[in-house]
């Protein structure tokens, strides 16, 4: 298991990566025009009213506010940073929660809850 200090450092790396990745993903989707269902839905719900030159930034903001997207995105990266060690992953997610915006906090909360359940199942299976 990693130390709290290591978790704080990794949390900052993950947060920076998430911000960049949301922007990169949004830019790629908007520029290619190959949106997925969530992008198509975003366009239908007002995204198409955003001027084309600002659409990638606006969609990146939408991704950065989507708890489900953040949960998937952050979960994968936290797993990598924690080397699959559930306790390390929980520490990293908790460190992110300390400084994240509300949607990322909720995504981390959901991840932590799932990982705690995984630990509890593992402990009950070993009992």
Q: What is the DSSP letter of 3?
A: -
User: Residue 6 and residue 2: Cα distance in Å, rounded?
Assistant: 6
pLDDT of residue 122: 76
Provide the residue ranges of all domains of the chain, joining segments of one domain with +.
4-126
pTM of the predicted model as reported, rounded to 2 decimal places = 0.82
Q: Is-contact 43 35, C-beta < 8 A?
A: yes
**pLDDT band, very low/low/confident/very high, at 57 (cuts 50, 70, 90):** confident
Q: Is-contact 59 47, C-beta < 8 A?
A: yes
Q: Is-contact 111 93, C-beta < 8 A?
A: yes
**Span 11-55, pLDDT tens digits:** 999 999 999 988 898 888 888 776 667 777 787 777 777 877 788
pLDDT of residue 35: 63
pLDDT of residue 103: 94
**Span 70-109, pLDDT tens digits:** 999 899 999 999 999 999 999 999 999 998 999 999 999 9
pLDDT at 127 over 70: no
């Amino acid at each position: 298991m990693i130390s709290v200090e290591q978790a704080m450092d990794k949390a900052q790396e993950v947060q920076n990566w998430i911000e960049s990745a949301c922007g990169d993903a949004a830019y790629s989707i908007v520029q290619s025009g190959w949106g997925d269902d969530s992008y198509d839905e975003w366009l239908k719900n007002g995204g198409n009213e955003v001027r084309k030159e600002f659409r990638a930034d606006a969609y990146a903001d939408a991704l950065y506010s989507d708890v489900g997207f953040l949960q998937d995105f952050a979960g994968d990266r936290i797993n990598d940073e924690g080397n699959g060690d559930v306790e390390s992953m929980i520490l990293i997610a908790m460190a992110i929660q300390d400084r994240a915006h509300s949607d990322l906090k909720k995504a981390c909360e959901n991840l932590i809850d799932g990982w705690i359940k995984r630990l509890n199942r593992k402990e009950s299976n070993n009992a």
